[in-house]
């Protein structure tokens, strides 16, 4: 246990995990000191739970977990890192992606999602793994990727992350991998970034520019059903 965990917090945890027929006491093994609801740091070691009478057992209440879509799993396996900064996810082997997100290059937006999207290649081809704050910059067109200039990254705003001049990580653009990112999506994003930053008349930031309900439904079904055909 970390020292930031107090005796009170530990008892709160046990109240969630343990179902008892009667009150119980908790003490550090080998001592006679019973834990109380204090802000004292919890001491490391093994703890004994002693019911005053009756019995106790661990709750069978299920925990609710998020369902990971198939293609997000595939993209994570393909990249394993932020493909912009090169930062590797050290927790990928245990399925923890707290500060890494799947970024869509081609947005689910009015008039865009329906334009032969499914016929443009792999369903993984418009997705990249990025660190969360890098994802926000990408969605805001603060930087882009030019597939026709050796996948160089031009930055269009304050370059706090020193992205300008970097190259998109080759791990996501292996031509022999059917899951590789598609150049046509990168070209679309690069064009929009130029329009947004150079002409001042670019598209709205698509992360917050919600399409009509029917197209949101179509996008959601497509993400869940993989490459299954959707009825028109």
Sequential DSSP letters for 155-202: B-S--TT--TT-B--GGG--TT-TTSPPHHHHHHHHHHHHIIIIIS--
Q: Give kind and range of the element (H or E) at residue 28.
A: strand 24-28
pLDDT for 213 equals 47
- What does the pLDDT average to over 202-223? 49
User: What does the angle CA 71 – CA 75 – CA 76 come to, to the nearest 5 degrees?
Assistant: 115
Arithmetic mean of pLDDT over the chain: 77
The span from the CA of 58 to the CA of 65, in Å, is 19
Q: Which residue has the higher pLDDT, 118 or 9?
A: 9
Q: How does residue 131 score in pLDDT terms, banded at 50, 70 and 90?
A: very high
Q: Above 80 in pLDDT, residue 121? A: no
Q: Give kind and range of the element (H or E) at residue 58.
A: strand 56-58
Q: Which residue has the higher pLDDT, 113 or 163?
A: 163
């Amino acid at each position: 246990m970390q020292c930031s965990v107090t005796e009170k917090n530990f008892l709160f945890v046990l109240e969630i995990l343990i179902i008892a027929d009667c009150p119980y006491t908790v003490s550090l093994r080998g001592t006679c000191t019973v834990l109380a609801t204090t802000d004292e740091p919890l001491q490391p070691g093994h703890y004994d739970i002693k019911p005053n009478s009756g019995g106790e057992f661990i709750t069978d209440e299920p925990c609710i977990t998020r369902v990971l879509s198939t293609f997000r799993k595939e993209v994570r396996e393909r990249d394993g890192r932020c493909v912009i900064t090169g930062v590797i996810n050290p927790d990928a082997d245990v399925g923890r992606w707290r500060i890494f997100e799947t970024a869509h290059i081609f947005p689910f937006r009015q008039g865009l999602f329906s334009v032969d999207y499914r016929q443009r290649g792999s369903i993984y081809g418009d997705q990249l793994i990025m660190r969360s704050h890098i994802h926000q910059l990408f969605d805001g067109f603060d930087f882009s990727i030019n597939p026709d200039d050796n996948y160089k990254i031009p930055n269009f705003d304050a370059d706090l992350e020193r992205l300008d001049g970097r190259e998109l990580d080759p791990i996501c653009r292996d031509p022999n991998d059917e899951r590789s990112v598609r150049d046509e999506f990168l070209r679309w994003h690069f064009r929009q970034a130029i329009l947004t930053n150079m002409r001042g008349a670019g598209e709205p930031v698509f992360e917050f520019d919600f399409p009509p309900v029917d197209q949101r439904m179509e996008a959601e079904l497509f993400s869940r059903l993989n490459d299954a055909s959707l009825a028109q």
